[in-house]
Amino acid sequence: MDGVLRRLRSATIAESGDAARVRRLIVVAGTVAEWAGFTEAQWTERLASIGSSAAAAGVESMRIVPSSDGGVVDVATRAGMRRDVRVDGCRVVADPRPDGRANLVEAINRLSGPITEESLQKEVAASGGDVDLVIVLGDPSVLPAALVWELAYAELVYIDADWSTLSVEHIGRSLDEFAVRQRRFGGVIE
């Protein structure tokens, strides 16, 4: 695993400079029903391993969200699935809400003044700013509903894997792919 962490660190910062560094990362993986099947020990191990790999690459915050409900899961169970830990300096949040529209509505409801793009962005991105990279496990023809606002400027990487197999290597390959991309932040090359 140390070799993977060294590769992550050098791939994201070395040749392409700090501009290619992923500061904020979202991973869309699994369903709420699959998450409910995880034991506390499995959660601890999963968040520690992928959080450590992200931190080694300079990621400051990582949010993990499910792709869908995947069945009926009661509100109390869902609330018990939320995790917020710090791993080697990287904040890792597992947020069991698969519908980004609900997050957007909550952000709007928290605003006390006029609703502007800037005020809404500040409220939605309270975790530290725009997302750099979104890693989606699953079908590349489907945009995740969990990410209504975040998809505007983030880079997307799809991985043909499922929640049970999410690993440090998946995160590493995605960060490597991000490092060689030319980010245009919604613009086009002339």
List, in order of start, the domains of the chain with CATH numbers.
Answer: 2-179 (3.40.1180.10)
Region 155-162 average pLDDT: 89
Which of the pair, 7 or 83, is modelled with greater confidence?
A: 83
The more confidently predicted of residues 10 and 119 is 119
Predicted confidence band of residue 104 (pLDDT cuts 50, 70, 90): confident
Q: What is the length of the chain?
A: 190
166: Cβ–Cβ under 8 A, 6 or more apart, which residues?
27, 29, 30, 46, 50, 137
pTM, two decimals, is 0.76
- Tens digits of residue pLDDT in 17-33: 555 688 889 999 988 88
